[in-house]
Amino acid sequence: MKIRGAVKTAATLRPPAGGGAGAALAMRDVEVSLPSARGSLRILRGVTFTVGRGEVVAVAGESGSGKSTSILAALRLLPPGARVTGSIVLDGEDVLAMPRRGLRGLRAGRARLVFQDPWRALHPMKRIGAQLVESARTADPGLSAAAARELVEHTLAGVGIPDPPARMRSYPHEISGGQAQRIVIAMALVARPAVLLCDEPTTALDVTTQAQILELLRRLNRELGISIVIATHDLDVIADVADRLVVMYAGEVVEEGPTAEVLSAPRHPYTWSLLRAAPGAAEGGRLRAIEGRPPSPAEEPAGCAFAARCPSVHEICTTTRPEPRHVLPGRASACLRAEGYGPVPAGGGR
């Protein structure tokens, strides 16, 4: 789908300032515990995945699987009292060892978060132009006010906002949800990020606008080389956008691989169950409900966290915790019986 009114991005947007050697994001064996009334809860249990430079990676899974926690951990934006172990390298920075000041700079510039709800990112009482100029100048304090305004104007044009000077004078309540999400993306782009971390960036939008925003993200990736992480519970929306897919379940990565391969021939029963043929599986492509529910963070299953809901569970699955392992080139699965899975039956899912 083409974005109506969009101007050629390369001509209007500046490429990222960051983007050194190494991966855009490397999470290694990341464990996150959050405090609760009933003690500390393990929310992420050994999460490992990498987002290569210039890649679009989708992190998918049911509600509560740990998608947002992974993204917030990557930016060290977890609530007070969170305990994080493992290693997180974001745009070349060791996030867990970084001083606060450095982290603030990283989040304002090279690694930007895009929320599900654009209204959360916009100040209701400030004009849109002023907010974007502030974003540009926080990331690059050397930028003059005039240069920042020019950058903002070009960026708004680049993300498909008609009549940018007029929009810059608007207040957030004067724009639609789709425009607000484009503006929030522009607010991130004026900081010239190397990495965009998007937490359900389209969930609040109607289907058409959703497709346009995803197409915009893809275009920013292709034309500017920005690395993008998209957390989503909607597999259909990322099929054409993400190069690779990371599937999470109960705070763990259960499957990873090139999107098309994972969707056509998953190697984990959780992914397989999500995609399996069933009446209504095609509607909207939402992750279908699987019978039962995932374990809560308070439960610590001895074996595989999916065992209780798994259609092909074996005795060993309830006693042995499976670690993710390479099952095919570029493909990882955390199922002891991963080799037993083949293509999703005809008519199933996609």
Ligand X SMILES: Nc1ncnc2c1ncn2[C@@H]1O[C@H](COP(=O)(O)OP(=O)(O)OP(=O)(O)O)[C@@H](O)[C@H]1O
From residue 270 to residue 309, the character string flagging contacts with Mg ion as x (rule: CB under 5 A) and all else as - is ----------------------------------------
| Cα distances (Å, whole numbers) of residue 318 to 300, 305, 336 | 11, 8, 11
Binding site partner of 33, from Mg ion, ligand X, none, Cβ cut-off 5-8 A by kind: none
CB of 3 to Mg ion, least distance (A): 26
Using the rule CB under 5 A, give the single segment among 59-67, 105-113, 161-169, 305-313 that binds Mg ion: 59-67
Residue 118, amino acid: P
Q: By CB under 5 A, tell whether 69 contacts Mg ion.
A: no
Question: Where do contacts with ligand X occur on this chain (CB under 6 A)?
Answer: 34, 36, 41, 43, 61, 63-69, 79, 233, 297
- Per rule CB under 5 A, count of chain residues that contact Mg ion: 2
CB of 345 to ligand X, least distance (A): 27
CB of 13 to Mg ion, least distance (A): 28
With respect to Mg ion, which residue has the nearer C-beta, 84 or 231? Answer: 231
With respect to ligand X, which residue has the nearer C-beta, 33 or 135? Answer: 33
Residue 8, amino acid: K
Q: Distance (Å, rounded) from C-alpha 74 to C-alpha 71?
A: 5
HSE-CB of 269 using CA atoms within 13 angstroms: 19
Binding site partner of 297, from ligand X, Mg ion, none, Cβ cut-off 5-8 A by kind: ligand X
Binding site partner of 218, from ligand X, Mg ion, none, Cβ cut-off 5-8 A by kind: none
With respect to ligand X, which residue has the nearer C-beta, 65 or 135? Answer: 65
CB of 99 to Mg ion, least distance (A): 28
Using the rule CB under 5 A, give the single segment among 51-59, 63-71, 221-229, 264-272 that binds Mg ion: 63-71
Torsion of CA 232, 235, 237, 241, to 10 degrees: 90
Binding site partner of 41, from ligand X, Mg ion, none, Cβ cut-off 5-8 A by kind: ligand X
Using the rule CB under 5 A, give the single segment among 61-69, 137-145, 256-264, 265-273 that binds Mg ion: 61-69
Q: Which helix (H) or strand (E) holds 48?
A: strand 39-51
Q: By CB under 5 A, tell whether 70 contacts Mg ion.
A: no
| Cα distances (Å, whole numbers) of residue 44 to 65, 296, 324 | 9, 12, 14
Query: Residue 177, SS3?
Result: helix
Query: Residue 107, SS3?
Result: helix
CB of 164 to Mg ion, least distance (A): 31
Q: By CB under 5 A, tell whether 68 contacts Mg ion.
A: yes
| Cα distances (Å, whole numbers) of residue 144 to 151, 277, 309 | 10, 57, 58
Using the rule CB under 5 A, give the single segment among 66-74, 278-286, 309-317, 320-328 that binds Mg ion: 66-74
Q: Which helix (H) or strand (E) holds 343?
A: none
* Residue sitting closest to Mg ion (CB): 68
Q: Are 50 and 226 in contact (CB under 8 A)?
A: no
CB-CB neighbours of 252 under 10 Å: 23
CB of 43 to ligand X, least distance (A): 4
Buried b (16+ CB within 10 A) or exposed e, 44-82: bbbbbbbbebbbbbbbbbbebbbbbbbbbbbbbebeeeb
- Residues in contact with Mg ion by CB under 5 A are 67-68
